[in-house]
Structure formats: structure tokens, C-alpha cells
Amino acid sequence: MTLASRALAQLATWPDLSQAVPSCGLGQAVSSAQGEIAHFHSDRDVDLQLTDRAIRRFAKDFKDSGAIRVVPGSQWVTIRLDAASDVDLLLTLVSVALQAQQAWPDPLDRPPAGCNDQRGAGFVKTDLSRI
């Protein structure tokens, strides 16, 4: 069992989540009543939708983590699953995402603009000082 399949199996047991077809059409997804939360694109990479406010709130933590990629202007972060601790990080951030969807909805009520899988190649640490 890959780390991604392990994480997806755990998230499928959460009462607020259900498996879904990702809007980007790649891989598998989980959604809440408010919309998509995560896209599993490979055995290693998961895109997670957070609000702009949540991304700003955790920017320093994200910058210090080699497992997280932030794309400026995107409400999605990409988590690279290389170790069991990365799955724990993902599960924690899914909980944050669920809370953020409820507590900090997009004030402009914009539809999320695709996941990070469609935004650039490679897994590079992004300069978070610009967001």
C-alpha cells in the first residue's frame, strides 16, 4: 500500500468527507459538503485546497517544510508524501482545510481555480514571502 492510498483510505472514513471525481480529471479526490478538499494525483503528490487566509496563516510553517509546495495565487498546496510523517501532515492539513472552508470562506465566492497539478512542473519550494 502506497502512502497516498493509505492516506486516501483514512480520509474515506472521515464522516465529513466522501470520495469524488476530481474536477481536474486526474487521479482521485475527496470532497466535503462545501466542495473539493484534496486531489490524489500520484503515489506521492496530493493537492489540498486551503483558503487564501489559511495559506497566509501557515506560510512560515509551509516555507520551512520540504514536503509542501505553494503556488502563488493558488488556493491549493501540494504535499509530497515521502514518509509516514507526511501522511500525518496531510491529515492535519485536511482538518485545517475543513475548518477553513467553514470559518474563512472566500469573500469573493470565487470558484477554486484548478489544482496545482495543472500549474507548472516540478516540485520546488516556492518563495512564500510574496503571498
For residues 41 and 45, give the distance between their C-alpha atoms in angstroms, rounded to a whole number.
Answer: 6
Evaluate whether residue 129 is within a structural domain: no
Domain extent, residue 44, equals 3-111
Evaluate whether residue 117 is within a structural domain: no
Residue 71 has pLDDT above 80, yes or no: yes
Evaluate whether residue 39 is within a structural domain: yes
Give this prediction's pTM: 0.79
Write down the pLDDT at residue 111.
Answer: 53
Specify whether the CB–CB gap between 97 and 37 falls below 8 A.
yes
Evaluate whether residue 127 is within a structural domain: no
Specify whether the CB–CB gap between 38 and 87 falls below 8 A.
no
Evaluate whether residue 126 is within a structural domain: no
131 falls in which pLDDT band (50, 70, 90)?
very low
Domain count for the chain, please give it.
1
For residues 27 and 108, give the distance between their C-alpha atoms in angstroms, rounded to a whole number.
Answer: 28
Evaluate whether residue 33 is within a structural domain: yes
Evaluate whether residue 42 is within a structural domain: yes
Among 129, 131, 20, 38, smallest CA distance to 81 is for: 38
Average pLDDT over residues 14-19: 93
CATH number at 29 reads 3.90.1150
Evaluate whether residue 128 is within a structural domain: no
Write down the pLDDT at residue 129.
Answer: 35
Per-residue pLDDT tens over the stretch 18-62: 999 888 888 899 999 888 899 998 889 999 998 888 888 888 888
Per-residue pLDDT tens over the stretch 96-129: 999 887 775 555 555 555 667 654 433 333 333 3
